[in-house]
Structure 1
Amino acid sequence: MTAEQADQIPLPEHTSTLVIGGGPAGLVALKYALRHSEWNEDDEPVLVEMEDEIGGTFRYRAYEGAELVSSKQLTCFSDFRYPLTAPDHPSLPEFVSYLNAYSQHFGLVPHIRTRSQVISLSRVGGEYPHEAVIRVTSPSGDVKEHRIRAQRVVITTGLHVSPNIPSIPGLNAEPITKKIPWIHSSEYKTRDQLGGRKVLVVGCGETGMDVAHDSVHAAKKTWLAVRTGFLSFPKVLNHFRIFGTTFDGNLPIDGLITNLFETTYVHPWVAASHLRWFVSDFVWAGELPPERQGRAYVFLNKFVNRPFENMSWLHRLLFSYSDPPLPDVEDPTCHLVPFPERFEDGRAVFPPPPKHRAKETAWKDICDPDLVVLATGYRQDFDWLGKEYARPDELDVRGVAHSSDLSVGYLGFLRPGVGAIPPMAEMQAQFFFLLTQGKIQVPTSEEHYHLLHGPNARIQYGVDYSGYMSTLARDMGSAPGLLELWREYGTFVTIVYCFGAAFPSFYRLVGPYKSAKAEGVVREELWDTIRRRGLAGNIAMGVIPMMFYAVVNTIALAVDVAWTLASPLFGRPRHSVFTIKAMPKIQVTAPVMDGVLNVAPGQDVVIVPPKDVNKGVANGFSNGVIRSVSAIESDAAALPKSIPKQT
């Protein structure tokens, strides 16, 4: 069935799963809804997309020369891979073609309705508790509204829909003394828009860097405005020298993080310390203030120009980049300037430079652009979502759902530092459909994957990609153990897993979504990412980090065990720690001793035993069974001395 034929089919009145949004997250959610959830012929899953075609941001916010900054190995879904002969970083049109092929391959097209915009979602109760009002536009332009009831809803409208436009006096806010043309980066399509002009690019994310690079080639002069600095490096490891060895293999950066001891077999203390974030980054271009260092928020870009560096002589001696030839233009430099406070008479007025950038001088020059490109990101708009629903920043179950209603999932609303949203969305879909069908419990282990950010940071939803992926895998029982891998797949697959990054196919080797295709992907494609590093690369980026983190985790484990055994000698009882989760959004860790729960009175709490408790009864609790108790007295001792076993 073609997409045009599917659009001719009316929307149903009821559906088991309503997916909102036709980008990568929506498509993978629909695939898992069709294949891994219960539904009948009269309530089959359906996806609605407001635009004319699927693809989301990759289709409708693309521009000339735009490519994925994440590699094909990391970005594509676990069971539908790019061929080895394809480029490591496909263009956006190529990735949209991949999404169309994915939809055809897994039979998603008959369940997709385009030109169908959800204008409201409300909770109405009953067997199908969610009601969506959808504005459907026909190919001829006729508009009508349709109501559909759903058992569960998956929201995948994405992070990049409504442009975030800052108010800058003199540019787009009063007083305006001289009008300067400006656009948001979502309106940027070709280099012709920049040709022969003096361009100020405001913002230093992936798109800002791309526009600045295009501007250097096409414009008369280019400035790049940043607030406090940036941490950025090319998306491929090329022209890079370490300890005298040069790497020129165009290796994708996002595939160089190893699994063993960095994301798997990591002691909780080491995970909580975020040690890996503080020792893994070298600043090559741009600079962050000291209070923002070690936060693992790295932008990957095609190109990095370096008018200013701040590295020690030892750093320069051991590591270096060899710049490619500069373009043959009048001014090939992208001049760094602060974020403009205002514009006066067509010139940008800048604040004093921050201390860590005191050596820079570019902002002292006159900045008089005749085009300003605001590469300032996007904001999320949920005016259509009923007030009874949580917003993405309120989710308390792995950034996927809210514990008060597990029938609503949110996929693709977390942003990885180094990684890609599509494979994260696939893991989120796997997690959500297990969770919403009661096949796994709400996880209670600590979340160590959130990127550190200041209270006023615009982006509050950043996560460490590999940490987040491995956390979801453990929650679902999809994280492979080394002994388990070796017994089932042998030494080769085990080694590839240890040296490989958090590729989604690794999490299809075992667990509830185990796939027969996964082993072949590991043996061929994922092995290729390791082979291309060469011997020196695997030693520098695999063996050495692995040995370092192995020592750190071993020391942490030894101290942990010693402290646990020695606790009684210091008058401290040796006890189990259970996570007490009180609704709404109150999480307490309380000791369980002699059957007494030391929790605050007057709260309904859900008690979940830790995953490492042996099967059977431990301290009055059956492993894997959630129980609720209510403290109605003012004394915590009034709580029951034990909880009767439930079956």
Structure 2
Amino acid sequence: MKVAVIGGGPGGLVTLKTLLSRDIDAVLFEAEDKIGGTFRYRSYENAELVSSKQLTCFSDFRMPRDQGDHVTLPEYVAYLEDYCRHFDLYKHIKLSTRVISISPNESGEGHFVTSQSNNAHEISEHFHAIAICTGLHVTPSIPSIPGIEHVPQHFHSSHYKSRTQIANKNVLVLGCGETAMDIAYEAIKADCPQVVLAHRGGWLSFPKALSAFRVFGKAFKGRLPIDGLITNLFETAYVHSSIRTSHLRWFVSDFVIKRVLWFLTGTSVGCNQWVGELPPERLGRAYVFLNKSTKAMPYINRPWTTSRGCMSKVTEYTDPPEDASSDKIIEVAPWPERISPDGTLIFTPSPRKEYSRIKNVVVKPDVVVFCTGYTQNLTWLHPSYPLPSHASCRNILHPSHSSLAYIGFVRPGVGAIPPIAEMQAMWWTSMLLGRAQVPQEEEWGDYLLLAREEARVKYGVDHSAYMSTLARDIGAAPGLWELWHAHGVHVLLTYCFGAAFTTLYRLVGPWAHSDAAQITKGELWETIRRRGFIGNMMWGVIPMMFYGILNGVALLVEMVGRVWRAVRGEMDAGVGSLTK
């Protein structure tokens, strides 16, 4: 078997390594002259990952334990380079080689990949399978703003590199994602006299690490990465099918989290978020991607924060001293209707509270930065192939084209794409080798976020639920007895209390790895130990007990239903015999 991997970002690299580990002949095509993808070529000054290194690292190659929880983008690119060297991947990578076309073999067996390297002649090669790993962040998406030509300078965030591009200018940031928040903050630090952040529908702010609040005067300094707080047992592992498909655990956690946020910060629309809130029907874990870049929030909140009265004596959220001492503001605005000939923004009247303030502010930007995301451009793919939006089976492939996979084309609400890509690569490799079966259609999709009809992003997943689902498909989801018997109590507790780290799905089963137990007992156990007693009660024991009861009740109802149906069947059979 010979497989082509398209794209040299983390998804492509881990797919290449996974295929090679099963003695599959694989070749990776990368258009740029270096690996790293978005993390190298769409990076900017002071950018760092919002997902923790513990979650983002690949299962069998970890970052140093003494390195910070959240690394910079250059540090992550260096990690990917070390990954390539460690697993000797470079000899399987064709750098500066752009894929021109992918087309099916007319005989129905395999695919032809036509590529071109450094303006040389085009080369066409035959492959049995294709993994497309070009990712979600490729072609900039730039919406039309009437009158944008009246602004002296405007560009997409993919072209933003440093503060020098915006220093001392009036800046309008279009968008409210993590990049938008970063650039708005950078504009404040670049002494821009006016910074405005315009959004369409709001965001949900949550820090990438829990810290900066006081309870009864005692400061919490744990800085726990939030992507490592969701426990496995009874929330992603051993979940009854009716609980899983109803998303009940998501809605329950939303109910609890909103009240905890109000207690800690005085507002429940986000963690210390006082403006830019999502509409109520979209506010929750089932609907939205958390915005974990919170550096700009002190400047966004400043005109809107209200006094908490006596509650401030109980709990208090504290901004970083440098930001708290500043008097600068990031104005929040609804999406602009147009830009007038003199360069002034015109906003459509809106019921949102931020409009009540911005309507009295003259917004005349010198620079507009489009932080409006990306789209996928797969014009080199033959039109007979399904696109990522058609990859209905686990968001990886279409059953009619199982030899064509999309790796890394989902986005988690909380979590990271690289570890998901690793799990997808193991899943697809198992399918290619005939060691797992493609799931039935009725089993698809209970891990998907509940996107609205008009939502731009419809490929959102719950990280933990999705990882657990893929692991179950390929026999890599460990049983509790199996774990205890193979690795002992320490590993078992880490699996139950830990998050959906990819390493946990390599402890036993077809993808078991010799280092998995040591990583679990060391680095991953540390993520649990750092929570402390109270943290493990709040994020471990109590959720496990609650969801355990829910799952137990669901199982009991199912068993009673089975017994009742069996009794009814026997009764009906008896009545039928008497009638005869």
Could you state the TM-score of these two structures normalised by the residue count of structure 1?
0.80
User: In structure 2, what is the equivalent of residue 119 of structure 1?
Assistant: 100
Q: Is 2:172 the partner of 1:200?
A: yes
Say which SS state the counterpart of residue 341 (structure 1) adopts: strand
1:244 offset after TM fit, Å? 7.2
Aligned AA for 1:384? W
User: In structure 1, what is the equivalent of residue 463 of structure 2?
Assistant: 465
Say which SS state the counterpart of residue 63 (structure 1) adopts: coil
Say which SS state the counterpart of residue 154 (structure 1) adopts: strand
Q: For residues 255 and 196 of structure 1, do their structure 2 counterparts lie closer, same or farther at Cα, with a shift above 3 Å needed?
A: same
The equivalent position to 1:501 in structure 2, one of 499, 502, 516, is: 499
Say which SS state the counterpart of residue 223 (structure 1) adopts: strand
Higher RCO structure (Cα 8 Å, ≥6 apart): 2
List per-residue Cα deviations over 1:496-515 (Å, max 9, x = no partner): 11111000000000111001
2:334 and 2:354 in contact (8 A); partners too: no
List per-residue Cα deviations over 1:157-177 (Å, max 9, x = no partner): 1111100000000115xxxxx
User: In structure 2, what is the equivalent of residue 528 of structure 1?
Assistant: 526
Q: Is 2:259 the partner of 1:287?
A: no
Q: For residues 349 and 572 of structure 1, do their structure 2 counterparts lie closer, same or farther at Cα, with a shift above 3 Å needed?
A: farther
Partners of 1:488 and 1:84 lie apart in 2 by 25
2:111 and 2:127 in contact (8 A); partners too: yes
List per-residue Cα deviations over 1:329-374 (Å, max 9, x = no partner): 975222111111111121111222245x478623442211111111
The equivalent position to 1:171 in structure 2, one of 148, 167, 185, is: 148
1:197 offset after TM fit, Å? 1.1
Q: Is 2:7 the partner of 1:21?
A: yes
Mapping 1:368-447, distance limit 5 Å: 368-444=364-440, 445-447=443-445
Aligned AA for 2:430? L
User: In structure 1, what is the equivalent of residue 250 of structure 2?
Assistant: 277
1:568 offset after TM fit, Å? 5.6
| Greater share of residues in helix | 2
Say which SS state the counterpart of residue 503 (structure 2) adopts: helix
Partners of 2:369 and 2:203 lie apart in 1 by 18
Say which SS state the counterpart of residue 8 (structure 2) adopts: coil
Say which SS state the counterpart of residue 88 (structure 2) adopts: coil
List per-residue Cα deviations over 1:486-532 (Å, max 9, x = no partner): 11111111111111100000000011100110000001000111111
Q: For residues 163 and 310 of structure 1, do their structure 2 counterparts lie closer, same or farther at Cα, with a shift above 3 Å needed?
A: farther
1:315 offset after TM fit, Å? 8.8
Q: Is 2:116 the partner of 1:135?
A: yes
1:326 and 1:332 in contact (8 A); partners too: no
Mapping 1:44-83, distance limit 5 Å: 44-83=25-64
1:220 and 1:331 in contact (8 A); partners too: no
1:567 offset after TM fit, Å? 3.6
Q: For residues 550 and 244 of structure 1, do their structure 2 counterparts lie closer, same or farther at Cα, with a shift above 3 Å needed?
A: farther
Partners of 1:564 and 1:321 lie apart in 2 by 51
Partners of 2:326 and 2:40 lie apart in 1 by 34
Aligned AA for 2:451? H
1:214 offset after TM fit, Å? 0.7
User: In structure 2, what is the equivalent of residue 220 of structure 1?
Assistant: 193
Partners of 1:184 and 1:568 lie apart in 2 by 63
Structure 1: which 5+ runs fail to align?
1-14, 39-43, 173-177, 575-647
Query: How many pairs are equivalent?
Result: 545
2:151 and 2:366 in contact (8 A); partners too: no
Partners of 1:16 and 1:523 lie apart in 2 by 37
Q: For residues 239 and 47 of structure 1, do their structure 2 counterparts lie closer, same or farther at Cα, with a shift above 3 Å needed?
A: same
Q: For residues 315 and 560 of structure 1, do their structure 2 counterparts lie closer, same or farther at Cα, with a shift above 3 Å needed?
A: farther
Q: For residues 313 and 289 of structure 1, do their structure 2 counterparts lie closer, same or farther at Cα, with a shift above 3 Å needed?
A: farther
Q: For residues 446 and 385 of structure 1, do their structure 2 counterparts lie closer, same or farther at Cα, with a shift above 3 Å needed?
A: closer
Partners of 1:573 and 1:522 lie apart in 2 by 53
CA root-mean-square deviation: 2.4
Q: For residues 434 and 243 of structure 1, do their structure 2 counterparts lie closer, same or farther at Cα, with a shift above 3 Å needed?
A: farther
User: In structure 1, what is the equivalent of residue 266 of structure 2?
Assistant: none
User: In structure 1, what is the equivalent of residue 77 of structure 2?
Assistant: 96
Partners of 2:462 and 2:70 lie apart in 1 by 21
Aligned AA for 1:217? K
Partners of 1:476 and 1:413 lie apart in 2 by 20
Q: For residues 274 and 354 of structure 1, do their structure 2 counterparts lie closer, same or farther at Cα, with a shift above 3 Å needed?
A: farther
Partners of 1:315 and 1:501 lie apart in 2 by 32
Aligned AA for 1:20? I
User: In structure 2, what is the equivalent of residue 300 of structure 1?
Assistant: 292
Q: For residues 231 and 317 of structure 1, do their structure 2 counterparts lie closer, same or farther at Cα, with a shift above 3 Å needed?
A: farther
Q: For residues 330 and 87 of structure 1, do their structure 2 counterparts lie closer, same or farther at Cα, with a shift above 3 Å needed?
A: closer
User: In structure 1, what is the equivalent of residue 338 of structure 2?
Assistant: 342
Aligned AA for 1:71? S
2:392 and 2:444 in contact (8 A); partners too: no
User: In structure 2, what is the equivalent of residue 238 of structure 1?
Assistant: 211
Aligned AA for 2:343? G
Q: Is 2:201 the partner of 1:209?
A: no
1:117 and 1:134 in contact (8 A); partners too: yes
1:128 and 1:149 in contact (8 A); partners too: no
1:415 and 1:421 in contact (8 A); partners too: yes
1:224 offset after TM fit, Å? 1.0
Q: For residues 310 and 440 of structure 1, do their structure 2 counterparts lie closer, same or farther at Cα, with a shift above 3 Å needed?
A: farther
Say which SS state the counterpart of residue 231 (structure 1) adopts: coil
Say which SS state the counterpart of residue 383 (structure 1) adopts: coil
Mapping 1:239-258, distance limit 5 Å: 239-241=212-214, 246-258=219-231
List per-residue Cα deviations over 1:588-622 (Å, max 9, x = no partner): xxxxxxxxxxxxxxxxxxxxxxxxxxxxxxxxxxx
Partners of 2:89 and 2:109 lie apart in 1 by 22
Q: Is 2:487 the partner of 1:515?
A: no
1:300 offset after TM fit, Å? 1.5
Structure 2: which 5+ runs fail to align?
259-269, 573-580
Aligned AA for 2:433? Q
Partners of 1:392 and 1:298 lie apart in 2 by 23
Partners of 1:406 and 1:309 lie apart in 2 by 53
The equivalent position to 2:450 in structure 1, one of 446, 449, 452, is: 452
Partners of 1:310 and 1:330 lie apart in 2 by 18
Aligned AA for 2:54? Q
Partners of 1:504 and 1:228 lie apart in 2 by 33
| Greater share of residues in strand | 1
Partners of 1:171 and 1:572 lie apart in 2 by 75
1:287 offset after TM fit, Å? 1.2
Aligned AA for 1:124? N
Say which SS state the counterpart of residue 64 (structure 2) adopts: coil
